Amino acid sequence: MITLNHYLILAAILFCIGFYGAIAKKNAVAVLMGIELMLNSVNINLVAFNRFLSPGEMTGQIFAIMVIVVAAAEVAVGLALVLNIYRQRLTTDVNDLDWLKW
């Protein structure tokens, strides 16, 4: 029997993997992918809560679709930034992106 907790644990694992990717990866594209994973783990949570706590309503699912739309926009902007940085600096290593430092 798959319960709500199973979904939540899956989402938590997925979030941690995404977070690790966002924090620890050097490649900017990989960082963006990590962020996508985190967003998707949130989506799993939303849909799971919707299914188990208030099955008659669609709030969670609609909210998940909203998150997917925002994530798509965010990735578009993010990739455009990465592309431009690469053109300027010939690198996508986030450790090198520290020009605003003192």
Partner 1 sequence: MINLAWLVPVLPAIAFVIIIFLTRRLQMVSALTSILAMAGSFIISLGIVFEVLAGPVTMDNPVELSARWLEVPGSVFIQAGVLIDPLSAVMLFVVTFIALLVMIYSIGYMKGEPGYSTFFAYLSLFSCSMLGLVVSNNYFQIFMFWELVGLCSYLLIGFYYHKDSASQANKKAFITNRYGDFGFMLGMFFLFLLFGTFNFRELAAVIPSYTNEALLTVVALLIFVGPIAKSAQFPLHVWLPDAMEGPTPVSALIHAATMVAAGVYLLARGFVLFESATTALIIIALIGGFSSIFAASIGLVQRDIKRILAFSTMSQLGYMVMAIGLGSITAGMFHLTTHAFFKALLFLGAGSVIHAVHTQDIFEMGGLSKKMKVTTWTFIIGSLALAGIFPLAGFWSKDEILLTAANAGEYFGIPILGPIFLILGLSVAFMTAFYMFRLIFVTFFGEEQPGSHAHESPAVMTVPLIILSVFAIFSGFIGTPFTPNGFAEWVYYGEPHHPHPNYGIMIMSTVVALAGIWLAWLIYGKRAISAEMLANRFSTIHRILYNKYYIDEIYLWLFDRVMLGIADACRWCDRKIVDGIADGFGDGIRAMGARMRFIQTGNMQNYALVIFVAVVIIALVLAVPVLGGI
For binding to partner 1 (CB under 8 A), which residues are involved?
Answer: 19, 22-24, 31, 94-95, 97-102
Token pair of 102, please? 């003192």
Give the residue with the Cβ less far from partner 1, 1 or 100: 100
Is the CB of residue 25 less than 8 Å from the CB of residue 31? Answer: yes
Q: Which residues pair with 93 in a beta bridge?
A: 27
Nearest CA to 52 among 61, 63, 62? 61
- Work out how close the CB of 30 gets to partner 1 at its nearest, in angstroms, rounded to a whole number: 11
CB 101 within 8 A of CB 80: no
Select 2 or 102, whichever has its Cβ closest to partner 1: 102
Minimum CB distance to partner 1, residue 95 (Å): 6
CB 92, min distance to partner 1, A: 13
